[in-house]
Amino acid sequence: MTDPLTARYGLLLIHAFPLDARMWHPQVEALRDRLPVAAPHMPGFGPGDGGSEPSGLRVMTMEHAVERSIGELNGLSVNQAVVVGLSMGGYVALDLWRRHPDRVRGLVLANTRAEADDEAGRDRRAALAERLASEGSGFLVESPPPLLSDGAPDDLRAWVRSNIADQPASAIAAASLGMAERPDSTGDLGGITVPTMVISSGGDTLIPPAESRRMADAIAGASYHEIEGAGHLSNLEAPEAFNELLALHLKRCDAL
């Protein structure tokens, strides 16, 4: 077993929208004794905003999220990390690769896509932000996006709703607007030079497996894995399968 105090590399886990970093509990518990693990709340999310930046950002850009992530790595004295991003976290991971490639030991892009939003998608995100500003987040808690498969257990559905309810409506709105203006990463995929794993899941209706497969095909040497049955939050709905894939990739990156 690797001593996390003397490990050469770390693990960075970047959470999905509209949750906070507690969604990574199954992965943190499985790996924190084997290497340094950073699982930061993105700006505005999580108890106490999760860090040093002030909450109340009108737009939480991917750059803001990258800054938070790099700050977390610096706080752990981790020079290079295997960066894992799920959904919105994948958008942040790709932006982190663009801005700080020297800090990335490897990538895991889970249930995410490289393309920017089209005009209709940007309009939907703006409309969501407006509704959050005027109504609060109750409607989103009551009827969240399809983050889980139809077969997900009731207790997991309740946990997801509870986690969404913990997030300030202003933070969810700011992240929605930030995702709407994120850059298209498609042109960057061919330039990724670190070991990369792409994970999708058969029950993901938000980002279907075909989109993830297309992204994997554009990254030289990337591996592609589809978790059968799980929905968009594959790490929560199928934690054992996700952890097995993550450990496999950490070994490929010489981080375990």
Q: Please write the tens of the pLDDT for every residue from 101-139.
A: 999 999 999 999 999 999 999 999 999 999 999 999 999
**Confidence check: pLDDT of 245 > 50:** yes
Q: Which of 61, 49, 57 is nearest to 92 (CA)?
A: 61
CA pair distance 110, 226, nearest whole angstrom:
10
**pLDDT of res. 3:** 55
- Helix/strand/coil for 123: helix
Domain 10-252: give its CATH architecture: 3-Layer(aba) Sandwich (3.40)
**Confidence check: pLDDT of 2 > 70:** no
Contact 159, 1 (CB under 8 A): no
Q: Which of 165, 168, 176 is nearest to 17 (CA)?
A: 176
**Confidence check: pLDDT of 44 > 80:** yes
Give residue 8's pLDDT band: very low, low, confident or very high (50, 70, 90).
Answer: confident
Q: Which of 234, 129, 119 is nearest to 172 (CA)?
A: 129
**Confidence check: pLDDT of 48 > 80:** no
Taking residues 44-58, report their average pLDDT.
65
**pLDDT of res. 248:** 98
**pLDDT of res. 4:** 53
Tokens 């109504």, residue?
135
Contact 90, 109 (CB under 8 A): yes
The predicted model scores a pTM of 0.95
